[in-house]
A and B are shown apart, each in its own frame.
Chain A
Amino acid sequence: MRRGHLKVFIGMAAGVGKTYRMLQEGHAEQELGRDVAVGYMEPHKRPETSALAEGLETVPRRRVAYRDTDLEEMDLPALLRRAPELALIDELAHTNAAGIEHAKRYEDVREVLGAGIDVFSTVNVQHLESLNDQVAELTGTRVRETIPDAVLGEADEVVLIDLTPEALIARLRAGKIYPGENIDAALSNFFTVENLLALREVALRQVAREVEAKRLIVEEPLGTREERVAAEAPRAVGERLLALVRPLPSSQRLVRRAWRSAQRLGTDLDLLWVKPPNQPIEGEVARQVTALRHLSSVLGANFLIEESDDLVRGAADVVRERGSTYIMIGESEPRRGFARLREPLPQRLMEATPPGVDVRIVAHRGRPQKDERGER
């Protein structure tokens, strides 16, 4: 059976009009003669959205008893029985009540797609797992419901519903997003111009990444061997990530960040420790090196040890040798003494590596840990 086609409407925050646009497109499909049904729609007490749902058949929700309350959830079995050509299913990141078929709505959506039904769905950018930390750091608000990035990667189409922060705040003030009693709290907490600007940038970048990832997919090549080799060529000129690690527990976070970036770019990840020639690998250093080697094996990354008394020169040699295009480094320790007179590490790396190699710094989450090797 053909898998259904998934289209996701993504936005920077609640109220940008994702559900509204999904319903508009549902109507348009229905007018074209397709069989459309609403699997689940969350009107959030927005009269305009509820009005737009009229004229579209809605599969009734089911009531699920959870502790002492009755919750309303999408009725997946009923939707599969109804089997429309296109199902509109709001809130892809929703967590279902315990005891029904799947824990998360995106899993329901996968089953619907597997049944050959096309799906339109919605999600906010902060619900993407890999962006959850970033958005929490930008806005101070952490969402509880997330979806793996792979779910968005499975979408055949991703549509960004964009709105300027000023326009979104105007909609909020006009009571089009939350009821009147919640507007002041929303304006002073989450819906600030700074937060919305940051979220808008994250959303735009995410969609750009999705578009780029899809553009880089190479179709299964046909023809002669030479033609197939030629068709493979674009893959060889992609990105290659190099993370500079040290045998310290704090490197684990750097590796996690680097691996997520590598996954997003669909590229290989190299982990490099530039070891001073006189540093023996024993005791705690040996334990941490084993841990890094082990983690790289779990992740399918390459762990490299380059012996050099100059971190920058050692790293630059590996960058040239491996064809790295992107270097990730941890936050440097505060520089003391004569080290203050030296250029910072990112600048030195950029000068020593070929032009076009990007350098990204991953901040420590907690207090910086001292390096056994000393200052750099």
Chain B
Amino acid sequence: MSVERLLIGVALVLGLGAGYLLARSRRRGSRAGRPEAVHQILLPFTGTAISRRAVDAALRLAKAEGATLMPAYLASVPKRLPLDCAIPAEAAKAMPMLEAIEQRATAQEVPVDSRIERGRSYRHALARLLERESFDRVVVPATAEAGAGLSGDDFVWVLERAPAEVLILRPDPEDTRFVSANGAQT
């Protein structure tokens, strides 16, 4: 083998190696350049269905602001059980709901980061979530059904205590569409 060929071979290997290292450092550089601030919209809900208006409103906001939507299922743990116990029955209710919301979000290219939060009451669960995570907005769907979901007192509490902008969606008597475990319903 001639010296020239050997030199060409060495130059090729060096070139490839330098190219690989350059591409790698660029990729790392772009990662480091990501914004640190967490930009999130919280959508707390209870039960097995949530108003589609509320989900769509939260998704519209998230899309417009480039935010992550955090749908959060609030589970109430009875006093006879420890607060940190496993709650498979509640989880079984929450999973398909979170899946359905995630599907709608994915269709609109909105990133989702779901949660299931336990508390002695829905309000307590929400308080624990607000303590742990930071949000820019909270979208709270009100319900016309007495005894279901968050109560009027809970809304007042959210308005007073949530360290974020709160959007309470009034129930529309004409709105009978829900996102539920079964997908979108009319």
Please name all residues of chain B whose beta carbon is closer than 8 Å to the beta carbon of A369 when the two chains form the complex: 111
B10 at the interface (CB under 8 A from A): no
Q: Are A298 and B92 in contact (CB under 8 A)?
A: no
Binds B, one of A24-32, A75-83, A139-147: A139-147
Inter-chain contact count A-B, CB under 8 Å? 79
A57 to B86, CA, bound (A): 46
Please name all residues of chain A whose beta carbon is closer than 8 Å to the beta carbon of B25 when the two chains form the complex: none
Q: Are B96 and A365 in contact (CB under 8 A)?
A: no
Q: Are B96 and A298 in contact (CB under 8 A)?
A: no
A284 at the interface (CB under 8 A from B): yes
Q: Which residue of A lies closest to B73 (CB)?
A: A298
Within A249-307, which residues are at the interface with B (CB < 8 Å)?
Answer: 249, 252-253, 256, 259-260, 263, 283-284, 287, 290-291, 294-295, 297-300
Please name all residues of chain B whose beta carbon is closer than 8 Å to the beta carbon of A249 when the two chains form the complex: 68, 111-114
A215 at the interface (CB under 8 A from B): no
A148 at the interface (CB under 8 A from B): yes
Most buried by B among A132, A142, A146, A252: A252
By size class, the interface of chain A is: 35 or more
Q: Are B181 and A146 in contact (CB under 8 A)?
A: yes
Q: Which of A260, A300, A367 contacts B95 (CB 8 A)?
A: A260
Chain A nearest Cβ from B37, distance in angstroms: 10
Q: Are B91 and A144 in contact (CB under 8 A)?
A: no
**A 341-376 binary contact with B (CB < 8 Å = 1; else 0):** 000000000000000000000000111011010100
Q: Which residue of B lies closest to A291 (CB)?
A: B115
Q: Which of B38, B68, B183 contacts A142 (CB 8 A)?
A: B183
A334 to B181, CA, bound (A): 32
Q: Which of A144, A150, A297 contacts B182 (CB 8 A)?
A: A144
Q: Are B182 and A143 in contact (CB under 8 A)?
A: yes
Chain B nearest Cβ from A260, distance in angstroms: 7
Q: Are A259 and B91 in contact (CB under 8 A)?
A: yes
Q: Which residue of B lies closest to A297 (CB)?
A: B84
Within B68-103, which residues are at the interface with A (CB < 8 Å)?
Answer: 68, 75, 84, 86-88, 90-92, 95-96, 98-99, 102-103
**Can you offer 9 A-B residue contacts whose CB atoms are under 8 A?**
A129-B181, A144-B183, A249-B112, A252-B113, A256-B95, A290-B132, A291-B113, A297-B84, A366-B109
A interface residue numbers (CB < 8 A to B): 129, 132-133, 136, 142-146, 148, 150, 249, 252-253, 256, 259-260, 263, 283-284, 287, 290-291, 294-295, 297-300, 337-338, 365-367, 369-370, 372, 374
B interface residue numbers (CB < 8 A to A): 20, 23-24, 27, 31, 36, 38, 68, 75, 84, 86-88, 90-92, 95-96, 98-99, 102-103, 105-106, 109, 111-116, 118, 132-133, 181-183, 185
